[in-house]
Amino acid sequence: MHGEYKVPGGKLVVVDVDVVDGVLRHARVAGDFFLEPDEALDAVNGALEGAPADTDATGLAARIEAALPEGTVLYGLTAEGVGIAVRRALAHATDWTDYDWQLVHEGPQPPALHMALDEVLTHEVAAGRRPPTLRVWEWASPAVIIGSFQSLRNEVDAEGARRHGVEVVRRISGGGAMFVEPGNTITYSLSVPQALVQGLSFQDSYAYLDDWVLGALGDMGIRAWYQPLNDIATDQGKIAGAAQKRIVGPDGAPGAVLHHVTMSYDIDADKMLEVLRIGKEKLSDKGTKSAKKRVDPLRRQTGLPREAVIERMIESFRTRYGLTQGKVTDEELARAQELARTKFTAPEWVARVP
């Protein structure tokens, strides 16, 4: 069995391993990481030998750390990264380059339709009728998007939203509220087969699916990192938030994962604070007393037009994994429009947690 895992901010770890009578045998770890001394690699392979095949990544990492020679230096590699690569091998996980990725980047659309398109396209990937898809959003109007489990009244100032003409919609994934305005936000979705994140914990899947974005930002001169559970941050502050939804495939098939990210290109912080209710408790774990300081826009950090940032992100993805131009089919759009009408604009959904 073969497994690969790109350590967030680090290097690629590759593991080939067999399972004999319920334990790991013949483990061989490789990759473009750095490791000193040379014999530490033998120690890593030896630590995996004989481990019960159901040992989780944390348990495998503990075995590896206990076996490493004193003074071992790992660069671009972690013991947990090796453990994750083993779990992905045992789960028969796929890799980014195993797929023909499709890009969907169309004109501005209403907020409720974006919510519906995420659901429809991810169901199509789960059913095997659509290839894995990167969809870049364009917004037709300002909106607040609240998480699936958030309280509407606790998160949104209804009067402020009405005054500024901001539509409130609820997405199918969890996480926090996002304030968006056309031209000031970069939002994208990844609809991917479950097999791509097989063997990863929920938290690890966020880091794994965000890694290409960190590379793209790095190419634009921004040193960014994944900040658990669902933020992308720089030393200037948070620049993006991610959320996920797992969708089961037809007849119990493995299904697909929706991973979407909203990035702040620019932001009207005063307007945001008139629309969102951002309490002290939410700020307490962010190391800041002011909501205005929580998000640092990409416009200031890159000096690039929004369209150029998006173009560079798309090109970075294409260079890494390949990407062909696609579109939402007429059938997918019709289903999404119906879903936007019957679900995502319905008070029963938007206010399902009052």
Q: What is the rounded distance in angstroms from the CA atom of residue 336 to the CA atom of residue 198?
A: 28
Question: Nearest Cα to 3, choosing from 21, 18, 23?
Answer: 18
Determine the average pLDDT of the residues in 63-92.
96
pLDDT at 119 over 80: yes
Per-residue confidence (pLDDT) for residue 292, from 0 to 100: 55
Per-residue confidence (pLDDT) for residue 271, from 0 to 100: 94
pLDDT at 328 over 50: yes
Residues 6+ apart with CB under 8 A from 45: 27, 28, 29
- Please tell me whether residue 260 adopts helix, strand or coil conformation: strand
Q: What is the pLDDT of residues 129-165, one digit of tens each?
A: 999 999 999 999 999 999 999 999 999 999 999 999 9
Per-residue confidence (pLDDT) for residue 144, from 0 to 100: 97
Determine the average pLDDT of the residues in 44-57.
97
Per-residue confidence (pLDDT) for residue 229, from 0 to 100: 85
Question: Nearest Cα to 329, choosing from 104, 174, 92, 14?
Answer: 104
Residue pair 6/204 in contact (Cβ under 8 Å)? The answer is no
Q: What is the pLDDT of residues 206-216, one digit of tens each?
A: 999 999 999 99
Q: In which residue are the tokens 């579109």 written? A: 327
* Total-model pTM: 0.90
pLDDT at 289 over 50: no
